[in-house]
Amino acid sequence: MNTYINPEGKIRISLSTYANMILNEDIFSFQLQSKSGMINRIFANYLEYASASVEHQCKRKKAELETVLCQLSSSAQNKTIQLLLEAYRKQLQSATAELIRKTEFHPSRTEFYIRINNNNCELFEDHFAMEAPFYKEKPGKYISAIIEEYCRKNSFEREEIFFQDVLSNLEVAISKKQMIKLTTKNHLQQDVSYNVYPRFILPDNHCNFHYLIAESSEDNKVYAYRISRIQKIKSYSSYTKHCSKERRNEILALIRKQGVAYIAGEQETIRVAFTKAGFQKLHAIQHLRPFATKLETTFVPNAKGEMILDFECTTMQAEFYFFKLGKDIRILEPESLRERFQNHYKEAYERYTD
């Protein structure tokens, strides 16, 4: 029987405008359909680790301290643990109270009802029985604190929390060297499946996203799959493939050279002409910047007032990075990429002249 949640599983929560914005961004990025579904998943995955779960964090801390202080006498151990736990509890309560205060006094807040699913109802009842005194018996305040805490983490940390189950399943498959079937969405939002041998879970160079690095069972090439794009995972325990130390080092060397996000595809020389403004943007915008064979720090123009630099990367990375520099650069080589840029800009121009 539910003590804190009504029979319909509804709870009214209040979030700051900032937290509400982050939730909406993650719903879009993680391809979810509803805010209730988003909050239920965050709650299930993050409840055990949130500082807002004060008493449960203290319970975990006590177990750690008992292990660390096991060589003390029983009385000394109990007294030391009691003192350390009290300080730890005050620290967590102070941080959580400040988070709640900032939320409640935020210039604008969003209040709405969410429906807690059956599994989370049971989980909530078990947890909130310990946390209720601090939250003055208000379950909505507890859930709001957990969501506010989640929303104040960076996108990389939020992705790790949200896809905790996916990451755990992939880590198991990696350790057992199992073949898995990945189902992802293509650019047309259609399901596409791949049979692969997972090898690593790594962040991109700027720690924005998690990627699965895997070898294809069809052509043995190495590909990167963004974790947040994975829809389903199926493991085949009967299909395994050992990855030698030499092969692992080969994959890691390829990652260092091409970057996690652009590990698939052949590298080639991309020749680019920069205006002075484009050269300044090149040094200012470092996120996912391709590797330059010689990256000068001083702008030295030719007769056309441009500076020409060569980059070693895939055409996909070149297109992603250089397209946003617009009129301040020109792709010179390869010709196929140059034509692609011309067509993109032409199509954009025609959209504005309709």
- The answer to whether 55 and 130 have CB atoms below 8 angstroms apart is yes
- Domain with 348 in it: 268-353
The whole-number pLDDT of residue 254 equals 85
The whole-number pLDDT of residue 38 equals 94
What ranges make up the beta strands (E) of 48-126?
109-115
CA angle in degrees (0–180, nearest 5) for 47-53-55: 135
Same domain, 167 and 231: yes
The whole-number pLDDT of residue 1 equals 45
Asked whether residue 263 is assigned to any structural domain, the reply reads no
Alpha-carbon distance of 164 to 193, in angstroms, equals 21
Looking up residue 228, the CATH number of its domain turns out to be 2.30.30.520
Q: Which of 115, 136, 154 is the last residue of a domain?
A: 154
Alpha-carbon distance of 157 to 312, in angstroms, equals 31
Sign of CA dihedral 260, 248, 184, 156: negative
Same domain, 54 and 97: yes
Q: Which of 115, 134, 154 is the last residue of a domain?
A: 154
Same domain, 19 and 117: yes
Q: What is the mean pLDDT of each run of 10 residues along the chain (354 residues)?
A: 71 90 92 89 93 94 92 90 94 92 77 88 87 92 94 95 95 95 80 93 87 92 90 92 92 85 77 95 87 86 93 86 93 93 91 84
- pTM > 0.85: no
Same domain, 97 and 169: no
Within 13 Å, how many C-alpha atoms sit on residue 300's CB side?
6
Same domain, 16 and 66: yes
Q: Which of 226, 255, 284 is the last residue of a domain?
A: 255
Looking up residue 277, the CATH number of its domain turns out to be 3.30.70
Alpha-carbon distance of 178 to 193, in angstroms, equals 16
Asked whether residue 189 is assigned to any structural domain, the reply reads yes
Within 13 Å, how many C-alpha atoms sit on residue 179's CB side?
13
Asked whether residue 5 is assigned to any structural domain, the reply reads no
The whole-number pLDDT of residue 119 equals 87
Asked whether residue 234 is assigned to any structural domain, the reply reads yes
The whole-number pLDDT of residue 265 equals 66
Same domain, 148 and 24: yes
Same domain, 140 and 172: no
The whole-number pLDDT of residue 118 equals 87
Alpha-carbon distance of 285 to 297, in angstroms, equals 14
Asked whether residue 261 is assigned to any structural domain, the reply reads no
The whole-number pLDDT of residue 201 equals 95
CA torsion, ordered 283, 285, 290, 296, to nearest 10 deg: 0
Same domain, 237 and 286: no
Asked whether residue 2 is assigned to any structural domain, the reply reads no
Dihedral pair phi/psi, residue 72, rounded to 5°: -75, 160
- The answer to whether 211 and 225 have CB atoms below 8 angstroms apart is yes
Q: Are strands 178-185 and 222-226 parallel, antiparallel or unpaired?
A: unpaired
Same domain, 178 and 124: no
Same domain, 196 and 285: no
Asked whether residue 214 is assigned to any structural domain, the reply reads yes
Total domains in the fold of the chain? 3
The whole-number pLDDT of residue 108 equals 75
Asked whether residue 3 is assigned to any structural domain, the reply reads no
